[in-house]
Amino acid sequence: MAKYVYSFGKDSTDGDATMKNLLGGKGANLAEMAKIGLPVPSGFTITTEVCTYFYANGHQYPPELEAQVNDAMVAIEKTMGKKFGDHKDMPLLVSCRSGARESMPGMMDTVLNIGLNDRTVEVLAKESQDERFAWDCYRRFVQMYGDVVLDMKPKTKTDIDPFEELLEAKKHKAGVKEDSELKPAHLKELVKEFKAAVKKQTGKDFPDDPMEQVWGAVGAVFGSWMNDRAIVYRRMYGIPHEWGTAVNVQAMVFGNMGDTCATGVALTRNGATGEKGITGDYLVNAQGEDVVAGIRMPKRIEESLNKDMPTSWEEFSKVAMILENHYKDVQDIEFTIEKQKLWMLQTRNAKRTGFAAVRAAVDMVNEGLITPEQAIARIPANDVTQLLQPVFGGAGLKGKKEIAKGINAGPGAATGQIYFQPDEAEAVWQKKNDAEIILVRLETTPEDLRGMKVAKGILTSRGGAASHAALVSRQMGKACVCGCEAINIDYKTETMTIGDKTFKKGDWISVDGFTGKVYEGKVPTSPSEVLQVLFEKSLKPKDAPLYQCFQQLMSWSDRFRKLDVRANADNPKESNEAIALGAQGIGLTRTEHMFFDHIDDFRKMILSETIADREKALAPLLKHQQTDFEGIFRAMSGRPVTIRLLDPPLHEFVPHEEKDQAELAKKMGIKPADVSRRVKELHEFNPMLGHRGCRLGIVYPEITRMQATAICQAAVAVMKEGIDCHPEIMIPLIGNITEFRNQEKIIREAATAVFKKAGVTPDYLVGTMIELPRACVTADKIAEGAEFFSFGTNDLTQTGLGISRDDYGTFINEYREMDIFSDDPFQTLDQDGVGGLMKIAVEKGRSARSDIKLGICGEHGGDPASVKFCHKIGLSYVSCSPLRLPVARLAAAQAAITEKKEKAAKKTSGGCECCKDGCKCCCCCKCGCRG
| Least gap, CB of 649 to Mg ion (angstroms) | 12
Q: Which is nearer to ligand PEP, 590 or 624 (CB)?
A: 590
Q: Which is nearer to ligand PEP, 379 or 782 (CB)?
A: 782
597: CB partners within 8 A, 6+ apart: 624
Q: Binding residue for ligand PEP (CB under 6 A) from 443, 739, 795, 863?
A: 795
| Least gap, CB of 337 to ligand PEP (angstroms) | 57
Which span (12-20, 56-64, 348-356, 793-801) binds ligand PEP, by CB under 6 A?
Answer: 793-801
Q: How many CB atoms lie within 10 A of CB 338?
A: 19
Q: How far is CA 527 from the centre of its chain?
A: 22
Which amino acid belongs to residue 796? L
541: CB partners within 8 A, 6+ apart: 533, 547, 548, 551
Q: For the window 794-823, what string marks contact with Mg ion as x by the rule CB under 5 A?
A: -x----------------------------
CB distance 288 to 255 below 8 Å: yes
Region 663-722 residues binding ligand PEP, contact defined as CB under 6 A: none
Q: Binding residue for ligand PEP (CB under 6 A) from 793, 828, 831, 881?
A: 793
CB distance 301 to 282 below 8 Å: yes
Does 442 contact ligand PEP by CB under 6 A?
no
Q: Which is nearer to ligand PEP, 449 or 857 (CB)?
A: 857
Which span (5-13, 557-565, 613-621, 788-796) binds ligand PEP, by CB under 6 A?
Answer: 788-796
Q: Which is nearer to ligand PEP, 534 or 867 (CB)?
A: 867
Region 220-239 residues binding ligand PEP, contact defined as CB under 6 A: none
| Least gap, CB of 794 to ligand PEP (angstroms) | 3
Q: Which is nearer to ligand PEP, 244 or 792 (CB)?
A: 792
For the stretch 292-302, what's the b/e string if a residue is b when 16 or more beta carbons lie within 10 angstroms of its beta carbon?
Answer: bbbbbebbbbb
Q: Which is nearer to ligand PEP, 290 or 592 (CB)?
A: 592
Region 635-654 residues binding ligand PEP, contact defined as CB under 6 A: 647
**Binding partner selected for residue 136 from Mg ion, ligand PEP, none, CB under the kind-specific 5 to 8 Å limit:** none
**Binding partner selected for residue 588 from ligand PEP, Mg ion, none, CB under the kind-specific 5 to 8 Å limit:** ligand PEP
**What is d(CA 233, CA 249) in angstroms, rounded to the nearest whole number?**
24
**What is d(CA 247, CA 146) in angstroms, rounded to the nearest whole number?**
19
Which span (37-45, 519-527, 531-539, 789-797) binds ligand PEP, by CB under 6 A?
Answer: 789-797
The span from the first CA to the last CA of the chain, in angstroms, equals 29
| Least gap, CB of 887 to ligand PEP (angstroms) | 17
| Least gap, CB of 730 to Mg ion (angstroms) | 11
**What is d(CA 539, CA 324) in angstroms, rounded to the nearest whole number?**
34
Q: Which is nearer to ligand PEP, 739 or 771 (CB)?
A: 771
Q: Binding residue for ligand PEP (CB under 6 A) from 260, 742, 794, 876?
A: 794
H or E element in which residue 409 lies: strand 407-410
**Binding partner selected for residue 858 from Mg ion, ligand PEP, none, CB under the kind-specific 5 to 8 Å limit:** ligand PEP
**What is d(CA 879, CA 867) in angstroms, rounded to the nearest whole number?**
10
Dihedrals phi, psi of 588, to nearest 5 degrees = -160, 115
CB distance 93 to 130 below 8 Å: no
Q: How far is CA 362 from the centre of its chain?
A: 21
- CA distances (Å), 462 to each of 292, 299, 444, 488, 700, in order? 11, 12, 9, 10, 66
Q: Which is nearer to ligand PEP, 9 or 767 (CB)?
A: 767
**What is d(CA 270, CA 266) in angstroms, rounded to the nearest whole number?**
9
Could you give the maximum distance between any two Cα atoms of the chain, in Å? Answer: 106
CB distance 531 to 393 below 8 Å: no
**Binding partner selected for residue 739 from ligand PEP, Mg ion, none, CB under the kind-specific 5 to 8 Å limit:** none
Q: Comparing C-alpha atoms, which of 508, 509, 516, 513 is closest to residue 485?
A: 516
Region 754-793 residues binding Mg ion, contact defined as CB under 5 A: 792
Q: How many CB atoms lie within 10 A of CB 796?
A: 28
Task: Establish how many alpha carbons lie within 13 A of residue 599's alpha carbon, considering only the half-sphere containing its beta carbon.
Answer: 10
Q: Binding residue for ligand PEP (CB under 6 A) from 166, 323, 360, 588?
A: 588
Which span (19-27, 452-460, 792-800, 880-888) binds ligand PEP, by CB under 6 A?
Answer: 792-800
Q: Comparing C-alpha atoms, which of 465, 236, 510, 438 is closest to residue 356?
A: 465
Helix (H, G, I), strand (E, B) or coil at 263: strand
CB distance 661 to 600 below 8 Å: no
Does 363 contact Mg ion by CB under 5 A?
no
Q: For the window 852-871, what string marks contact with ligand PEP as x by the rule CB under 6 A?
A: -----xx-------------
Q: Residue 399: left (phi > 0), alpha (psi -120 to 50), or beta?
A: left
Q: List for the chain the helix, strand, coil content (%; round to 5).
A: 50, 15, 35
Does 457 contact Mg ion by CB under 5 A?
no
Q: Residue 834: left (phi > 0), alpha (psi -120 to 50), or beta?
A: alpha
| Least gap, CB of 111 to ligand PEP (angstroms) | 51
Residue nearest Mg ion, Cβ-based? 795
Q: Which is nearer to ligand PEP, 649 or 727 (CB)?
A: 649
| Least gap, CB of 696 to ligand PEP (angstroms) | 13
Does 792 contact ligand PEP by CB under 6 A?
yes
**Binding partner selected for residue 631 from ligand PEP, Mg ion, none, CB under the kind-specific 5 to 8 Å limit:** none
Q: Comparing C-alpha atoms, which of 338, 286, 348 is closest to residue 315?
A: 338
Q: Which is nearer to ligand PEP, 244 or 800 (CB)?
A: 800
**Binding partner selected for residue 857 from Mg ion, ligand PEP, none, CB under the kind-specific 5 to 8 Å limit:** ligand PEP
The residues assigned a catalytic role are 468, 857
Does 881 contact ligand PEP by CB under 6 A?
no
**What is d(CA 919, CA 931) in angstroms, rounded to the nearest whole number?**
9
| Least gap, CB of 647 to ligand PEP (angstroms) | 6
Task: Establish how many alpha carbons lie within 13 A of residue 118's alpha carbon, considering only the half-sphere containing its beta carbon.
Answer: 9
Q: Are strands 501-504 and 726-731 parallel, antiparallel or unpaired?
A: unpaired
Q: Which is nearer to Mg ion, 264 or 587 (CB)?
A: 587
Tally the residues of the chain.
Answer: 931
Does 640 contact Mg ion by CB under 5 A?
no
| Least gap, CB of 793 to ligand PEP (angstroms) | 5
Q: Which is nearer to ligand PEP, 248 or 798 (CB)?
A: 798
Task: Count residues near ligand PEP (CB under 6 A).
Answer: 10
**Binding partner selected for residue 577 from Mg ion, ligand PEP, none, CB under the kind-specific 5 to 8 Å limit:** none
Q: Which residues pair with 114 in a beta bridge?
A: 94
Q: Which is nearer to Mg ion, 728 or 795 (CB)?
A: 795
Region 129-188 residues binding Mg ion, contact defined as CB under 5 A: none
**Binding partner selected for residue 281 from ligand PEP, Mg ion, none, CB under the kind-specific 5 to 8 Å limit:** none
105: CB partners within 8 A, 6+ apart: 292, 351, 446, 468, 471, 472, 475
Region 758-787 residues binding ligand PEP, contact defined as CB under 6 A: 771
For the stretch 121-143, what's the b/e string if a residue is b when 16 or more beta carbons lie within 10 angstroms of its beta carbon?
Answer: bbbbbeebebbbbbbbbbbbbbb
| Least gap, CB of 798 to ligand PEP (angstroms) | 7
Binding site for ligand PEP (CB under 6 A): 588, 590, 647, 771, 792-795, 857-858
Binding site for Mg ion (CB under 5 A): 792, 795
